[in-house]
Structure 1
Amino acid sequence: MTDLAPYAAWDDLSSSAREDLTARVVVVGAESTGKTTLTQDLVKHYRARGGIWKNTLWVSEFGRDYTVRKIAELGISFDDDAEFRSADWTSKDFAVIALEQQRLENAAASAGSPVLFCDTDALATQIWERRYLGNESTAARDALPTLPPRALYLLTDHRDVMFTQDGIRDGEQFRPTMTQWFVDELRLHGERGQFVRGNRAQRLAECVTLIDEVLAERAAQL
């Protein structure tokens, strides 16, 4: 394992310093590609290291909770057609989701270990706004034109995970397009990213290696 000894004094830092220095690792990808599973596996792995790492946190996908609440408010069954549900989205919805996702991320960064795992982020919200409302709708981007620096993006490959409908997902046919949109957007912004492929164990092992390399590089900032 990479030597992460420089982080031993992490708990002595102020919350604002930790918010600035935390390595934000964001897991993104199309629907039903294992994002949440990977995020939770990474959290479990780092917490098991003990010490400062036992307080490793993760930020769940606020947009999912927002979607479930929105559906409930409309009185629509989870068995109804996804296109019908998605037709009610407005630009304002995506601005609200992006702002709250970022607020939750910042709060967690100030309170956890040196690494924070994010199951999506505001950049992903911008991509989903494009999916539902088209290129002309930019409310999420306008609400958050600049995001805090990300240490690493992990993009889950849709080809390795069987699509499972949970009642609110768009549909399997959209996954290849969404995957490419994430690739294009990360390249456009010059973000450090990695395509994550393989089975569950392979994905975890590959990501831990990458994240430890990132943490070792960032240790010099402490």
Structure 2
Amino acid sequence: MNDVDLYESWERLSPEAREALTLRVVVVGAESTGKTTLTRDLAQHYRARGGIWSNTLWVSEFGRDYTVGKIAELGLGLDDDSEFRSADWAPKDFAVIALEQQRLENAAASTGSPVLFCDTDALATQIWERRYLGNESTAARDALPVLPARALYLLTDHRDVAFTQDGIRDGEQFRPTMTQWFVDELTLLGERGQFVHGNREDRLAESIGLVDAVLAERSAQLD
């Protein structure tokens, strides 16, 4: 099956086939570096291409919702003018987050277009577990030792975006370290990753070029 045939028959594929064939593009980075904005913008751009691309989906960061829930359990409110009061994180929390993030990703891959954009993933959950619980805590990795193939990681550079407190963030001083951890982990795993730089428009344009290159490579492989 060549690329044209694949795309023409995409909507007739089973959910299982779509899940296996979808190219997964994951946006990762430290806190307040524009990950969600870039993920949404990419999904919107590819939807605008129409046809099978009109159902391009993006997956939100489950860990954020989970954090808000933990704060509520502690009886704390969210205040944009104050720094986040760290929840009582335990290894099991990161296992839960990783598993649910992956479930959401797989569900979207099985129902969307040939490309899926993810605002973080279970690998990022492993990095956050290291941030809060140290190198010895590996619950997220143990819960998901192997992840589905990723077509591309886009790494948002903390130097391009000013830190904005939203009531749950607490890691402005950790942003350079977190950025380096992502670089190190992606390099160690041999994942295809690329920094994206500049303002919102520049990042989007650069990312589209990178994603289109991945799509073109698939076409060449299938011809």
Give the TM-score of the pair, scaled to structure 1.
0.94
Alpha-carbon shift at residue 112 of structure 1 (Å): 0.3
Percent identity of paired positions between Structure 1 and Structure 2: 79
The correspondence of residues 160-179 of structure 1 with structure 2, limited to 5 A, is: 160-179=160-179
**Which residue identity is paired with 1:136?**
E
CA distance in 2 between partners of 1:19 and 1:141 (Å): 22
Alpha-carbon shift at residue 81 of structure 1 (Å): 4.6
CA distance in 1 between partners of 2:114 and 2:181 (Å): 29
The aligned counterpart of 2:69 is: 69
Secondary structure in structure 2 of the residue aligned to 1:17: helix
CA distance in 2 between partners of 1:170 and 1:178 (Å): 12
User: Is 1:19 the equivalent of 2:19?
Assistant: yes
The aligned counterpart of 1:122 is: 122
| Aligned residues of 2:55 and 2:113 also touching (Cα < 8 A) | yes
| Aligned residues of 2:83 and 2:165 also touching (Cα < 8 A) | no
| Aligned residues of 1:94 and 1:129 also touching (Cα < 8 A) | yes
CA distance in 2 between partners of 1:107 and 1:221 (Å): 25
CA distance in 1 between partners of 2:86 and 2:207 (Å): 35
Secondary structure in structure 1 of the residue aligned to 2:9: helix
CA distance in 2 between partners of 1:196 and 1:215 (Å): 18
The aligned counterpart of 1:85 is: 86
Secondary structure in structure 2 of the residue aligned to 1:118: strand
Secondary structure in structure 2 of the residue aligned to 1:117: strand
Provide structure 2 residue ranges, at least 5 long, that are not aligned to the other structure: none
**Which residue identity is paired with 2:86?**
R
CA distance in 2 between partners of 1:13 and 1:81 (Å): 47
The aligned counterpart of 2:189 is: 189
Moved more, 210-219 or 53-62: 210-219
Secondary structure in structure 2 of the residue aligned to 1:94: helix
CA distance in 2 between partners of 1:85 and 1:169 (Å): 9
Tell me the alpha carbon deviations over residues 184-210 of structure 1, each in whole angstroms, 9 at most, x when there is no partner: 000010000100101111111111111
CA distance in 2 between partners of 1:212 and 1:34 (Å): 21
The aligned counterpart of 1:142 is: 142
Secondary structure in structure 1 of the residue aligned to 2:25: strand
The aligned counterpart of 2:58 is: 58
Provide structure 1 residue ranges, at least 5 long, that are not aligned to the other structure: none
Alpha-carbon shift at residue 77 of structure 1 (Å): 2.5
Give the TM-score of the pair, scaled to structure 2.
0.94
| Aligned residues of 2:41 and 2:204 also touching (Cα < 8 A) | yes
CA distance in 1 between partners of 2:73 and 2:142 (Å): 26
| Aligned residues of 2:83 and 2:169 also touching (Cα < 8 A) | no
The aligned counterpart of 1:101 is: 101
Alpha-carbon shift at residue 221 of structure 1 (Å): 4.3
**Which residue identity is paired with 1:215?**
L
User: Is 1:28 the equivalent of 2:28?
Assistant: yes
CA distance in 2 between partners of 1:215 and 1:204 (Å): 16
CA distance in 1 between partners of 2:141 and 2:188 (Å): 14
| Aligned residues of 1:76 and 1:85 also touching (Cα < 8 A) | no
**Which residue identity is paired with 1:125?**
T
Alpha-carbon shift at residue 31 of structure 1 (Å): 0.3
Aligned residues: 217
| Aligned residues of 1:165 and 1:171 also touching (Cα < 8 A) | no
